[in-house]
Amino acid sequence: MTIDLGNTDLRLRIDCFSVPREARREFDAAMRRNLDFIRTLPGLREHLVFEKAGGSTAFDVVTIAVWESQEAIDRAGERVRDHYRAIGFDLPAALARWKARAEVGVFRAPGEPNEEP
C-alpha cells in the first residue's frame, strides 16, 4: 500500500491497543466486525492492522484507517457510533471487561512549516 504523503487532506485514525492474551479472541472478533463495517463507509482509503512483534511498547495491536479527509472521518465516526448502538456494542464497557487499554488519535502528513496543524 502507498499513502500519498503530499496529500495533506488525508487523515489517519491510528488506534493503539494493549490487550491481555485471554481477551484477544473476543477483541479480534470485535475488530473484524468493525473493519467489515467501516469498509462500507465512503472516504475510507485503506485499513491496516499490525500486531506487536517486539520492542518495548505496551501496545499489542495497532490499527491505521486512512481516510480521504477530516470530513470523511467525522462522518464515519458518527456512523460507527450509530452502528455500535444498533448492534448493542459498548466499546468502553468491552475494553473494561477485557482489561484492555486504548489510545487513539487522528494524524495527517506534515504540511508546510508555517501551516496550522
Query: At residue 113, does pLDDT exceed 70?
Result: no
Q: Which tens digit of pLDDT belongs to each residue from 26-84?
A: 999 999 999 999 999 999 999 999 999 999 999 999 999 999 999 999 999 999 999 99
Query: At residue 6, does pLDDT exceed 60?
Result: yes
**pLDDT at residue 117 in the model:** 55
Can you name the residues that pair with 62 across neighbouring β-strands? 16, 50
Confidence of residue 116 (pLDDT cuts 50, 70, 90): low
Q: Are 68 and 10 in contact (CB under 8 A)?
A: yes
Query: At residue 111, does pLDDT exceed 90?
Result: no
Domain regions of the chain by residue span: 11-58+69-107
**pLDDT at residue 93 in the model:** 97
